[in-house]
Chain A
Amino acid sequence: MSITTLIIKREFFAKVRNKSFIVMTFLSPLLFVAIAIFVGYLSAAETTVKRVAIHDETGLFVKDFLAQNAEDGAYQYLDYSQIDNQFLKDSIVNNGYEGLLIIPKTTDLEHQIEFVSNASPSVSFIENAQAVIAAKITQLNFEKAHLDTLAIRKAQANVIINIAKTSGEQGVKGLNEAKIAIGGAFGYLIMMFIIIYGNMVMRSVIEEKTNRIVEIIISSVKPFQLMIGKIIGTSLAGILQFSIWVIIGLSLLFLASAFLGVDVGASANVPSELLSQTEYAGTAQLFIKELWNLPIASILISFMVYFIGGYFLYSSFYAAIGAAVDNQTDSQQFLLPVIMPLILSVYVGFFSVVNDPDSTIAVAFSIFPLTSPIVMLMRIPFGVPWWQIAISLTLLFATFLGVVWFAAKIYRVGILMYGKKPSWKELYKWLKY
């Protein structure tokens, strides 16, 4: 067994046997599910029925609104057309109404309808109310013009545009939210992984340095071997943890699918059929179906590749920092510039990628090696041209090699420097030793 393998093995087992690793690995998915359930519970509990008063002086529309009471659970419409308008305005707030919809008797109905409310009404509510009224007015207009409304309804076409790519791959409308969620989650996960595992590397370097075993070890191996072994060993622990999470996640997804009766195999191939189904399916079913429609395999593979690239790059920084300082508190001044690009990428991801995955900023940051692991991963669910991935991966791994070279120099000198808190200037000097 080569010495580097020996080091990798030791570092791997040192991490994996650690109690906090085991607890983290198995507890955090539980924690995540618990939080999801809690949030779900909270938002479900929030759907108390909102009451909306209607003062319809025309008497034309109120029936259509009242008809909605049966299907829609969120809003309860009440007919107060007989009661004085001013009195209603004064009393609705006190009586816990969401708002008052006033439809005056006028010829210009299209612009004179008012919704009085102190709360800010949701967009969907207003759109729904507008649609109900517009439909009614349209129908009345048809009747006024003596048109055959039945024939018109029959003649109406219902168009659904199927989304597809030049590759022939079929997409599903309404998938964007899921893509944003998945891309965001994975990008965020990579940031967390880099910070957590980078810190592990740094802590382990500092440990070796402070308890002085490093002097014994580097009398047998080259500092570079020790550093690389440490980085690889720790990354394997990270990959193991991630794999366990993926297995747990996929099993949960399978369980949820089976429980809700979603046909997993069929959905990917027949998007049009799925679309018509989704109109009737519950939201949970819809969401799970959307998840199955994502390129899960390619997302997971890209996660691995970008995690390894990004993690290698950053943990080289972390290793160098660990070697330069004597204890963790001294590491802060050097850590800030390392963490900055990570945080920047998450912001870019959430503000720019979500808006337009192919915008210049998103593309630039997904190619720049310090931010690409996170930003590119957020873009991948939306589909990224292969050449961009190729450029970004090449740059990422090339930068990694450069950074490792630079980190190894600092590391080599740093691990033998005790009791000093180096300045940036000193680190620069070490590069030339």
Chain B
Amino acid sequence: MNTLLEVNKVVKQYGNYVALNEVSLAVPQGSIYGLLGPNGAGKTSLIRIINQITMPDSGQIILDGEKLQPKHVQYIGYLPEERGLYQSMKVGEQCLYLAQMKGLSKAEAKKQLDYWFDRLGIQGWWNKKIQELSKGMAQKIQFVVCVLHQPKLLIFDEPFSGFDPVNANVIKDEILALKEQGATIIFSTHRMESVEELCDHIALIHKSNKLIEGKLDDVKRQHKTNSFEVGILTDNVEKLMYDITQKFTVSPAHFKSLNNELKLEIQLGNSVPNELLNVLTQRGQLTHFVEKIPTVHDIFIQTVTENKV
């Protein structure tokens, strides 16, 4: 897979504070790339550098094979976390203005606006002022402004904040559709379930350093602990527990089920699953046997707490 955006050992300092410490990333073409990290990790600094809002102190950024330069602003669409619009300007006029700033001609901008307004069902808003719209409505306009110029690279910083579940879904579908059309998307959020749902690549930045990067599946594979959730119906719990603890590490598990069975989380260590199955099937009726795959949430919390220093 080609790399659309390459961040190469980028350093950014504000006075004595290091916001980014030699951070390198590779965002593959056509991916949805989750940029994760706790508050103050340096995500916004990095996003601002990619948008050429600020310049890195050292390191470089390659977009589509070229060193990042002013003309690239028209290839990038940016939806900032802290976002707003001119309150007393009319919706249509404002969208035209912002689209023209991205290098679109007035006619082309008009055409694209008609398409998007139609698609999102907001045709009637053209002559409304932003201050007459609700927050969610304004957010939709911002989304349109961000994607209007058909950018190759889209950067969404917390795109779902401020949307109700229905509209969040609309936006999610639009993001997926944009990916289908070939856009590459950098997606920064604290909502891990949406990362799980949308992203195929992730990177985790913590305390100005990149700690994790890769395909979501690979990252998960690296972080799995070879443990299984087990549900079993048995008459002789003591015997069962004795057998298992001989070979494996056991802790109680919590999952939902209809039976009143014994729920366990079992770490296999160096053994293979079949060894565990052999033990279990001898002692009772197996109702639940699932490999425990770490969620992005788990990986996030684990990595951040491990690197507290």
Query: Footprint of B on A, CB under 8 Å?
Result: 1, 3, 6, 10, 14, 207-208, 210-213, 215-222, 416, 418, 429, 433
Contact = CB atoms under 8 A, between A and B. Distances in A.
B84 A220 contact: no
B101 interface: yes
B83 A216 contact: yes
A3 B83 contact: no
A181 B87 CA distance: 42
Contacts, number: 63
Contact of B14 (A14, A207, A433): A433
B52 A219 contact: yes
A215 B83 contact: yes
B179 interface: no
B100 interface: yes
Contacts of A220: 73, 98, 101-102
A211 B86 contact: yes
15 contacts: A1-B100, A3-B100, A3-B101, A6-B101, A208-B86, A211-B86, A212-B82, A213-B86, A216-B142, A216-B145, A217-B98, A219-B52, A219-B53, A219-B76, A416-B53
B24 interface: no
Contact of A218 (B53, B83, B86): B53
Contacts of A207: 86-87
A111 B142 CA distance: 89
A304 B100 CA distance: 32
Contact of B82 (A1, A3, A217, A418): A418
A216 B15 CA distance: 25
A416 B48 contact: yes
Nearest to A215: B80
Nearest to B146: A216
A221 B101 contact: yes
Q: What class of interface size applies to chain B in its complex with A?
A: 20 to 34
Nearest to A18: B88
A212 B84 CA distance: 5
Contacts of A416: 48, 53-54
Nearest to B98: A216
A215 B82 contact: yes
A426 to B, nearest CB: 10
Interface string B104-148: 000000000000000000000000000000000000001001100
A219 B78 contact: yes
Contact of A211 (B14, B70, B84, B145): B84
B89 interface: yes
B85 A213 contact: yes
Nearest to A429: B15
Interface in B136-173: 142, 145-146
Given A10-B97, A212-B82, A215-B78, 5 more contacts: A14-B89, A207-B87, A215-B82, A215-B83, A216-B145
Contacts of A14: 86, 88-89
Contacts of A429: 15
Interface in B62-85: 70, 73, 76, 78, 80, 82-85
B97 A6 contact: yes
B51 interface: yes
Contacts of B52: 219
